[in-house]
Amino acid sequence: MDSIKWESTIKMNIFTLKVVGLWPKSGEVYKFNLYTIYMLICVGFFILFSVFCQVMHVVLVHTDLEALSEPMYISLTKTLASMKAFYLMISLKKIKKFMRTLNGHFLQLKNHQRGTIEPSLLIWKGTCLSFWILTLGTISLWCVFPILDESVKQSRLPFPAWYPYNTKETPFYEITYVHQVIGVFCTATADLSMDTLIAAFMMFIGAQCDILCNKLRNMEAKNFKERFVECIEHHKAIVRFSSLIVLGEFFTSSVTIGLAMFRLSTVSSGVKIATFVTNVVLLQGCSVERRKLLYFGFLGLWSQADDRRTPNLYTLYTVIAVIFFLYGSVFFQILYIPLIVTDLEALTKLMFNLITKSLVCVKAFCLMQNAKTVQRLVKALDSDLFQVKTVDHRKLVQPALLIWKTTYIIFLSLATSTIFMWCILPFVNKSFQDYQLPFLALYPYNFKKSPLYEITYIHQVVGLVITATIDTNLDTLISALMMFIGAQCDILCYNLRNLHRKKFSELMRVCIQHHQEILRYQILMLKYLLQICKLFSFAAKSNHFFNIIVLGQFFATAVSMATGMFRLSMVSPLSGEGYSLLTFVTSMVLQVFLYCWFGNEVEIK
C-alpha cells in the first residue's frame, strides 16, 4: 500500500532554513563551498553582528533603567535565537538522522492512516501559520516604525545599537538601517523555522503513538502473536526516534533556558516567601512508606479515626490550627490591602507572599474535602501488583526516586531557611523596637502595645509555619504519587519486554491487570487533585478542575516571583531580607518544578 511522504509536511521549514544558511544542500555538515560562505554572511554578519551591536549598547546604557528597558527584551530574544541557530548547526548530523529515521518501515504513514494524523497535522499547520503571521507582522511594524513616527528624520534606527562609526551620517545610516532589517528577518526566520520544525517532530511522534494504539485496539486472535510483535517493534521505533530528538538538544539547552529565565526576570520582576518543613511520605525502593500522614495530623488536616470528620477534640484542634492561624493570618493581611493600594512599594511587599498564602488556603480546603480519597490512595499502595518484586525493578525506579529525594531535600533547606529569616527579620534590622511585625496586616486592635504585640507576632509566625508546612507537604506528596505511577509504568514495560513464550498468555494477563491497576490508582490520585466528590463523574469533570488548580499554582507562583523580584530591587542584596527573597524565588521555582517534572513523567510513561 502506498505510503505518505512525511517530509513533504516540513518542506517549508527546510526551505526557510536553507534561505538563512542553516541547511546545507548536500552532506551532513558544512563543507568549504559557496553555501558555507553564504551561511557566514547570513549568520555571522547579519544575525550575530546585529546581536553583538545591540548587546554592546546594553552594556553602555546599563545604568539608565529607562534606556535599558527598550533594547533589553529584543536583544535577549535575538540572543536566544542565535543560540538556537548555533545548536542547530552543530547538531545537523543528528537532525538529518531524524530525517532518515522517518523513512523506516514502521514509521511510514500509510494512506489509510491519514485520518489518524489529520487532526494533529491541522493543529500544527494552524499554529505555524498563526505564528508566522504574528511574528512577521510584528517585525514589519518594527522595521517601518522610524518612518511612521518620522523619527527617521533624526536618523533613528529600528533597534538601539552601538556601531563603531557614526550611524547618523549618510550613507552609513541607510546601510545600517538595511543591515538591521535584514538581520531581524534572518533571526526571526531561523527562530520560527526551528521552533515549528521541532513541533512537527513532536506532532509526528504523537501521531505514531495514535497509530500504534489503533493497531493494538484492532488486534485479532488469529494472528495475535505476530501482530503483537509488530506493535512492539513499532513502539521501539517510536522510542528511538523520540530519543534522537531529546539527545539532539538543539532547541533546549541549559544556556537557552538560562537566557529565557533571565528574559522573564526583565519583563516582569519577581521574588519572596518560603515554603516547607518535612514530608508526608518516605519512599524506599519503589514503595511509598507512610508515616500515617503525621504532619497533616499535627496540623489538624488528617483525622486518625476514620474517613469522616466528626465533632470531637481533634475537630476543635483543626479549627484552631487552620481557621485561626492559617485563614486568620491571611484574612488580616487582605484587610490591609485597601490602606496601601496607592503605595506601590508597600503593596508589593504585602502581595508577594499573600497570593501564595491564599492558594495554600484553597489547597488545605481541598485536602480536608478529599481526605477519604487520599486515604484510599495510601491504602492502594499495599496492593500485591504494586510491590517491587525483583532487583531489576528496584534499579528501574532508582533514578526517579533520586530526583524526588534531591528535590525534597533542596526544597526543605530553602524553605526552612526562608521561614527562619522572615521570623527573625524584625530583630535583625531592629524594627521590632518600633513594633514592626514580620508581615503587614490590619488588626482590630492596637498591636503596638505589650503584650498584644508579642501575641500578634507569635500568631504570624505560627501561621507562617503552618502555611509553609501544608503547602510543601501537599506539593511533595503529589509529586511522590506521580513518581510512584511513573515507576509502576517502568515496571510494567519491563515485564512486557521480558515475556516468555511458554507462559505468554498467563504473563500477558498479569501485565494487563497491572496496567489496569495503575490506571485505577492514577484516577484516584487525580480525583484528589481535582477536588471531585462523585466517583462516577470523574471522567467528565477531571480536566476542568485540574486546569483550575494548575492555573492557580502557576499564576500564584508567577505573581509572587514578580512582586518578590521587585522587592529585591529595592533592598540591599546582602541584607537579611535580600537573602530571604533569593531563597524564596528558588523555592517557588522548585515548587513549579515538582508539578512540571513529575507530571510530565506520568504523561510520557
pLDDT digits (tens, 9 = 90+) for 412-453: 788 888 788 888 888 888 888 888 888 888 888 888 888 899
Q: What is d(CA 438, CA 460) in angstroms, rounded to the nearest whole number? A: 7
Structural domain including 248 reads 3-267
* Displacement of CA 431 from its chain's centroid (Å): 38
> Is there a single domain that holds both residue 286 and residue 195?
no
**Secondary structure in 3-state letters for 523-546:** HHHHHHHCCCCCHHHHHHHHHHHH
pTM to 2 decimal places: 0.45
> Is there a single domain that holds both residue 246 and residue 303?
no
pLDDT in tens, 477-532: 777 777 777 777 777 777 666 655 445 555 555 555 555 555 554 555 454 444 43
Structural domain count, the chain: 2
> Is there a single domain that holds both residue 429 and residue 575?
yes
Q: Is 275 domain-assigned? A: no
> Is there a single domain that holds both residue 227 and residue 160?
yes
pLDDT in tens, 112-158: 556 666 777 788 888 888 888 888 888 888 888 888 888 888 888 98
pLDDT of residue 181: 92
Q: Is 421 domain-assigned? A: yes
Q: Is 276 domain-assigned? A: no
Confidence band of 261 (pLDDT split at 50, 70, 90): very low
> Is there a single domain that holds both residue 71 and residue 196?
yes
Statement: residue 49 has pLDDT above 80: yes
Domain end (from 267, 289, 314): 267
All cell numbers assigned to 414: 530553602
Mean pLDDT of 310-314: 68
Statement: residue 383 has pLDDT above 90: no
> Is there a single domain that holds both residue 289 and residue 262?
no
Confidence band of 175 (pLDDT split at 50, 70, 90): very high
> Is there a single domain that holds both residue 153 and residue 285?
no
Q: Is 169 domain-assigned? A: yes
Q: Is 274 domain-assigned? A: no
User: Which has the closest alpha carbon to 564: 577, 552, 553, 550?
Assistant: 577
Instruction: Report the chain's mean pLDDT, rounded to a whole number.
Output: 70
Helix (H, G, I), strand (E, B) or coil at 251: coil
Can you tell me which residue has the cell 510543601? Answer: 472
Alpha helices for 249-388 (secondary structure H)? 254-267, 294-298, 313-318, 328-336, 344-369, 371-380
Amino acid at 558: A
Mean pLDDT lowest among 43-57, 418-432, 557-571? 557-571
Q: What is d(CA 12, CA 193) in angstroms, rounded to the nearest whole number? A: 8
pLDDT of residue 221: 57
Which residues touch 152 (CB under 8 Å, ≥6 apart)?
A: 146
